[in-house]
Structure 1
């Protein structure tokens, strides 16, 4: 019965996610379709001798693969800019994304806007899923299903609610509780071990959120930590943007904190099974020793993950180290936000160790030290 309910929840969540994505694609005002590059038809120099920033014009024969003009072959011009950062690296027999512009007389004009990366995305996701199932078998399947549910919760609950003006911190905390419960119970089943892991994980995540919220307000963070956020500030009206950093810490640290709590809870569960007369003190001390080994790698994992996600910003700062002194660099909002995310999340991992160990010694045994 429990497995049936979990399976129903998974299918329901996946269906809603797929439906939402499909609805968003239908509601978009701009029309993008899939095409395929057949071959390069011709190349000609720019008529302005590069003064317009264009080196040459390439003309490709393209087959349209979707829409009302499906299977139709057309010629599309694509500029090659002097600045390579603006170029689309087009190759023959490769799928591309076409922008469709409707003419007043019913004729359509198409432009190449990007390489279609969906096949590669599906491939790498497929490799991940396949390896997870091969290596972890049945538990790997449950892990993949829990991941689908988590993505569905974030897409269908977290994002819509904060876009409607609800507190990102509150909603992210509730989503973290829901995601942790589903993930751990789906992986371990309904057990004391899973309950302890959930309580430890949620406690660590909430503390990480509180720490990030305190320092975000102490540093007078605005929440606009990127150029994109500033450019699209009109879309963010009505959203409590200052809480987004803390919400990101709560969701971003959730996986690592769950890992720590689950590892300690599982280890202490086995210890309790093998030694029925173990005391609370022994369980707590064992949990702390296990946590010491985990902390060394997990703290690095979280901090390096944030550094890796912002590697381009880190590179820009390094290249401008002669131009900006340290006092200026540390006061860039994007830098301060990354520091808050990394260290607040790591604090969540640290406090999850004693909390989970203490919960284990309370729940797993009634003996006093």
Structure 2
């Protein structure tokens, strides 16, 4: 516990030194987002409530906290929020289908020993729970790309206010291409870092490559990474188009065509 407090204190001090007031709000937002996730998990155990609806509400609240609370309400955060929610809606529909078809919901055989003492008759739809887990795993990366594109395109527009909508959109997509590779690699290495112990266990148990790839634990995480990558790829043209439309529309309304 002391180690956790020390690490939290070091993080808080560094965020204050680097980010000032925004750094302090970023630190507080970690606990606010944790509260949203905790409440979502509590309500998700109620069979009468749709996990997909809960996930959408949770993503909306996380978006409000991460974008509006940290960066305040302005045109950049509003556009990033709209872009994020559009992408989340598209992903929700896609991921529910993928989860059902790939049958990655529930627990793998490697986890059965740990849950053998508990009842599995909890009355919730594990397909929707699995889809919710994937969405929750992607929301952070999607928001990160959305605000990065919005900020960058705003700077391009400020330095070249007569730029056409098409050129501005192309610039946004070009920025997104640079972000796409780094973010997808971040998700990939986060999986292998978090599941390195499991992979070593697979090696000790003499799992073949085919058994590892087809195990539910491994497959579920790979589907999460791939769906997150799809979300990152989707948000780039969506955020670029919305930003280009809004910025040029604002210029036209002001009469500086």
**TM-score, reference length from structure 2:** 0.88
Aligned to 2:170: 285
Moved over 4 A (4+): none
1:291-311 deviation per Cα after TM superposition (whole angstroms, max 9, x unaligned): 111111111111211222212
Match of 2:255 in 1: none
Please tell me whether residue 164 in structure 1 is matched to residue 46 in structure 2.
Answer: yes
More helix by share: 2
Whole-Å separation in 2 of the counterparts to 1:231 and 1:358: 50
For residues 87-112 of structure 1, the C-alpha deviation after alignment (integer angstroms, 9 at most, x for no partner) is xxxxxxxxxxxxxxxxxxxxxxxxxx
Does the Cα contact within 8 Å between 1:317 and 1:329 map onto a contact in 2? yes
| Greater RCO (CA < 8 Å, at least 6 residues apart) | 2
Question: 1:16-165 counterparts in 2 under 5 A?
Answer: 118-156=1-39, 158-165=40-47
Check 1:312–1:209 CA distance in 2 against 1; reply closer, same or farther (3 A cut).
farther
Task: Extract unaligned runs of 5+ from structure 1.
Answer: 1-117
- Aligned residue pairs, count: 249
> Once the 2 structures are TM-superposed, how far is the Cα of residue 206 of structure 1 from its aligned partner?
3.6
Query: RMSD value over aligned CA atoms?
Result: 2.2
Specify the structure having the higher radius of gyration (Cα). Answer: 1
Instruction: Identify which of 241, 250, 253 aligns with 2:126.
Output: 241
Please report the TM-score for the alignment, with normalisation by the length of structure 1. 0.63
Distance 2:123 2:114 in 1: 14
Contact 1:303 1:346 in 2 (8 A): no
1:25-82, Cα deviation, whole Å (9 max, x unpaired): xxxxxxxxxxxxxxxxxxxxxxxxxxxxxxxxxxxxxxxxxxxxxxxxxxxxxxxxxx
Question: Match of 2:95?
Answer: 212
Question: Aligned to 1:365, what secondary structure does the other structure show?
Answer: helix
Q: Which residue of 1 aligns with 2:136?
A: 251
Matched, 1:342 2:192: no
Counterpart pick for 1:267 among 152, 172, 191: 152
Q: Against the structure 1 CA distance between its residues 300 and 274, is the aligned structure 2 distance closer, same or farther, given a 3 Å change threshold? A: same
Greater share of residues in strand: 1
